[in-house]
Chains A and B, each alone.
Chain A
Amino acid sequence: MLKSVLDWVEDRTGAVSGVHHFLHEDIPGSSGWHQVLGSVAMFCFLVQFVTGLLLALNYAPTPPDAHASLRFILTELTAGRLMRGLHHWGASMMIVVVVLHMLQVFLWGSYKKPREATWMLGVILLLLTLGFGLTGYLLPWDNRAYWGTVVTTQITAKAPIAGPYILRLMGSEDGQIGVQTFARFYGAHVLLLPPLMIMLIGLHVFLVRRHGVAPAPVETAPQKKFFPGQVFKDTVAIFIMFAILFALAAIVRVPLGKIADPTDTTYIPRPEWYFLFLFQILKFFEGPMEIVGSMVLPGIAVALLFATPFLDRGAAVKLRQRTFAIGVVLFAAIGWGSLTYAAMRTTPHKDPWQNFIPEDLAAVGSFRQGQCWQCHGVTPGDSKAGPNLADIAVHEERDVLVAHFKQHAGNSGLKDLQLRQLGNFMRKLDDESVAAIASAPENIVGGAQLYMKTNCGICHALNGAGGKSGPPLNAVAKRRDRAWMEGHFADPQKFSPGTMMPPYKFSPVEMANMLAYMETLKD
Chain B
Amino acid sequence: MAEEMIEKRRGFLVGSITAMMGAITAALGIPSLGYLLVPPHAKKKQNWIEAADLSKLMVNQPEQVLFQRVRRDGWKVVSEKAAAWVVKTGEQQVVAFSPVCTHLGCAVSWDSGNKSFVCPCHTSSFSPEGKVMAGPAPRSLDRFDVRVDGIKVMLGEVKQSAEG
Chain A residues near B (Cβ < 8 Å): 47, 50, 54, 57-58, 60, 65, 68-69, 71-72, 75-80, 82-83, 86, 228-229, 231-232, 235-236, 238-239, 242, 246, 392-393, 395
Least CB distance from A140 to B in Å reads 13
Asked if B13 and A76 sit within 8 Å, CB to CB, the answer is no
Give the dominant DSSP class at A's interface. helix
Asked if B41 and A235 sit within 8 Å, CB to CB, the answer is no
Asked if A69 and B74 sit within 8 Å, CB to CB, the answer is yes
Point out the residues of chain A lying under 8 angstroms from B59, CB to CB: none
5 interchain pairs, CB-CB under 8 A: A50-B28, A54-B36, A57-B36, A231-B13, A231-B17
Chain B residues near A (Cβ < 8 Å): 10, 13-14, 16-17, 20-21, 23-24, 27-28, 31-32, 34-36, 38, 40-42, 72, 74-77
Asked if A392 and B41 sit within 8 Å, CB to CB, the answer is yes
Asked if B24 and A79 sit within 8 Å, CB to CB, the answer is no
Asked if B41 and A76 sit within 8 Å, CB to CB, the answer is yes
Asked if B41 and A75 sit within 8 Å, CB to CB, the answer is yes
Asked if A79 and B28 sit within 8 Å, CB to CB, the answer is no
Pairs A-B, 3 closest by C-beta atoms = A72-B75, A79-B31, A76-B40
Asked if A235 and B31 sit within 8 Å, CB to CB, the answer is no
Determine the distance from Cα of A236 to Cα of B77 in the docked complex, in whole angstroms.
Answer: 47
Point out the residues of chain B lying under 8 angstroms from A71, CB to CB: 75
Asked if A246 and B17 sit within 8 Å, CB to CB, the answer is no
Determine the distance from Cα of A71 to Cα of B72 in the docked complex, in whole angstroms.
Answer: 14
Least CB distance from A468 to B in Å reads 34
B41 closest partner in A (C-beta): A76
Point out the residues of chain A lying under 8 angstroms from B31, CB to CB: 78-79, 82-83
Determine the distance from Cα of A393 to Cα of B77 in the docked complex, in whole angstroms.
Answer: 13
Point out the residues of chain A lying under 8 angstroms from B28, CB to CB: 47, 50, 86
Point out the residues of chain A lying under 8 angstroms from B20, CB to CB: 235-236, 238-239
Determine the distance from Cα of A72 to Cα of B36 in the docked complex, in whole angstroms.
Answer: 13
B37 closest partner in A (C-beta): A78
Point out the residues of chain B lying under 8 angstroms from A83, CB to CB: 31-32, 35
Given contacts A71-B75, A76-B41, A80-B35, 4 further A-B contacts (CB under 8 A): A47-B28, A78-B34, A83-B35, A392-B41
Asked if A246 and B23 sit within 8 Å, CB to CB, the answer is no
Asked if B24 and A72 sit within 8 Å, CB to CB, the answer is no
Asked if B21 and A235 sit within 8 Å, CB to CB, the answer is yes
Point out the residues of chain A lying under 8 angstroms from B23, CB to CB: 239
A65 closest partner in B (C-beta): B75
Q: If the complex has contacts A238-B20, A395-B42, are A79 and B32 also in contact, measured as CB distance less than 8 A?
A: yes
Asked if B13 and A65 sit within 8 Å, CB to CB, the answer is no
Asked if B40 and A54 sit within 8 Å, CB to CB, the answer is no
Least CB distance from B95 to A in Å reads 29
Point out the residues of chain A lying under 8 angstroms from B34, CB to CB: 78-79
Point out the residues of chain B lying under 8 angstroms from A58, CB to CB: 35, 74
Determine the distance from Cα of A69 to Cα of B32 in the docked complex, in whole angstroms.
Answer: 17
Q: If the complex has contacts A75-B41, A76-B41, are A69 and B35 also in contact, measured as CB distance less than 8 A?
A: no
Point out the residues of chain B lying under 8 angstroms from A69, CB to CB: 74-75
Point out the residues of chain B lying under 8 angstroms from A235, CB to CB: 16-17, 20-21
Point out the residues of chain B lying under 8 angstroms from A68, CB to CB: 75-76
Asked if A72 and B74 sit within 8 Å, CB to CB, the answer is yes
Asked if A77 and B35 sit within 8 Å, CB to CB, the answer is yes
Point out the residues of chain B lying under 8 angstroms from A65, CB to CB: 75-76
Determine the distance from Cα of A54 to Cα of B28 in the docked complex, in whole angstroms.
Answer: 11
Least CB distance from A439 to B in Å reads 25
Point out the residues of chain A lying under 8 angstroms from B27, CB to CB: 242, 246
Least CB distance from B44 to A in Å reads 10
Point out the residues of chain B lying under 8 angstroms from A228, CB to CB: 10, 13-14, 17
Determine the distance from Cα of A239 to Cα of B25 in the docked complex, in whole angstroms.
Answer: 11
Asked if A77 and B17 sit within 8 Å, CB to CB, the answer is no
Point out the residues of chain B lying under 8 angstroms from A229, CB to CB: 13
Least CB distance from B151 to A in Å reads 25
Pick from A47, A57, A60: contact of B75, CB below 8 A. Answer: A60
Point out the residues of chain B lying under 8 angstroms from A393, CB to CB: 42
Q: If the complex has contacts A235-B16, A235-B17, are A395 and B76 also in contact, measured as CB distance less than 8 A?
A: no
Asked if A54 and B32 sit within 8 Å, CB to CB, the answer is yes
Determine the distance from Cα of A231 to Cα of B74 in the docked complex, in whole angstroms.
Answer: 43
Determine the distance from Cα of A363 to Cα of B34 in the docked complex, in whole angstroms.
Answer: 35
Determine the distance from Cα of A310 to Cα of B24 in the docked complex, in whole angstroms.
Answer: 40
Asked if A72 and B32 sit within 8 Å, CB to CB, the answer is no
Point out the residues of chain B lying under 8 angstroms from A232, CB to CB: 13, 16-17
Between A228, A229, A231, the greatest number of chain B beta carbons within 10 A of the residue's beta carbon is seen for A228
Point out the residues of chain A lying under 8 angstroms from B72, CB to CB: 395
Point out the residues of chain A lying under 8 angstroms from B36, CB to CB: 54, 57
Least CB distance from A19 to B in Å reads 14
Point out the residues of chain A lying under 8 angstroms from B75, CB to CB: 60, 65, 68-69, 71-72, 76
A53 closest partner in B (C-beta): B32
Point out the residues of chain A lying under 8 angstroms from B13, CB to CB: 228-229, 231-232
Determine the distance from Cα of A60 to Cα of B73 in the docked complex, in whole angstroms.
Answer: 13
Between A57, A71, A229, A232, the greatest number of chain B beta carbons within 10 A of the residue's beta carbon is seen for A232
Point out the residues of chain B lying under 8 angstroms from A392, CB to CB: 41-42
Least CB distance from A380 to B in Å reads 15
Determine the distance from Cα of A246 to Cα of B28 in the docked complex, in whole angstroms.
Answer: 9
Determine the distance from Cα of A242 to Cα of B22 in the docked complex, in whole angstroms.
Answer: 12
